[in-house]
Amino acid sequence: MGLVHFGEQRFDAKLVAFDKDGTLFDFHASWRPRFLEAVARLLSQFQNRAEMQAALFQSLGYNAAEGTFDEDGTFGTATSSETARAAATVLHQHSRPTLSWHSCEQLVRLEFAPILSSSGSSVPVTDLATLFSSLHESSVGVAVITSDDRAPTEAALAIFGLSRFVDYLACGDSQGRHKPAPDPLLAAADLLDVSLAQT
């Protein structure tokens, strides 16, 4: 068991669970450039780009004036498939010329969805290798629970040398219910034989 500090609070912990974006990596700095580039590509063929961009930003939870994502918005919380479906819905409702649903899905799959499955340029919030290593040395398990897909999550963890420290990984495309449901956290605690009081 390790003594883990969160500000002034101290906890005797055997397992610490992290979200990926917004916790380990700066969500806005990591995603904003890729998101804006993908939106521009997605809307390039339409006559009413400004209208569609505003609708897409609203649907996915992006504040253009502040350059930030709504932490409870679609892009910040939904799985990749849910985000792609939301983008296709905006295209279907606002496209000029009007596109069929199939065409909207195909366009999103080609021009927008690839950013959701890429590890991109994640910006860590701190020296994550040192953090994870110190937890490991204190015999504290590490779980990463995210709504992102497994492939880009594993790639990001590998890029920053974190993979070997992660004892449990749950992603948006994993089997069963994903966050914010408690199932992944319960599964991590069960796998590592840790009580929730020590998590």
pLDDT band with cut points at 50, 70 and 90 for residue 133: very high
Q: Which of 42-51, 59-68, 87-96, 174-183 has the lowest mean pLDDT?
A: 174-183
Q: Is 16 helix (H, G, I), strand (E, B) or coil?
A: strand
Q: Is 62 helix (H, G, I), strand (E, B) or coil?
A: strand
Tell me what pLDDT residue 2 has.
Answer: 61
d(CA 197, CA 191): 15
CB within 8 Å of 106: residues ≥ 6 apart: none
pLDDT in tens, 53-100: 999 999 999 999 999 999 889 988 888 888 999 999 999 999 988 899
pLDDT exceeding 70 applies to what percent of the chain? 94
Domain at 2-25+123-198, CATH class: alpha beta
CB within 8 Å of 120: residues ≥ 6 apart: 30, 31, 34, 152
Tell me what pLDDT residue 78 has.
Answer: 83
Enumerate the domain spans of the chain: 2-25+123-198, 27-116
What number of other Cβ atoms are within 10 A of residue 113's Cβ? 20
Long-range contacts at 48-52 (CB < 8 A, ≥ 24 apart): 48/94, 48/95, 48/96, 51/94, 51/96, 52/90, 52/91, 52/94, 52/95
Tell me what pLDDT residue 76 has.
Answer: 84
pLDDT in tens, 21-32: 888 998 888 889
Tell me what pLDDT residue 127 has.
Answer: 94
d(CA 155, CA 161): 10
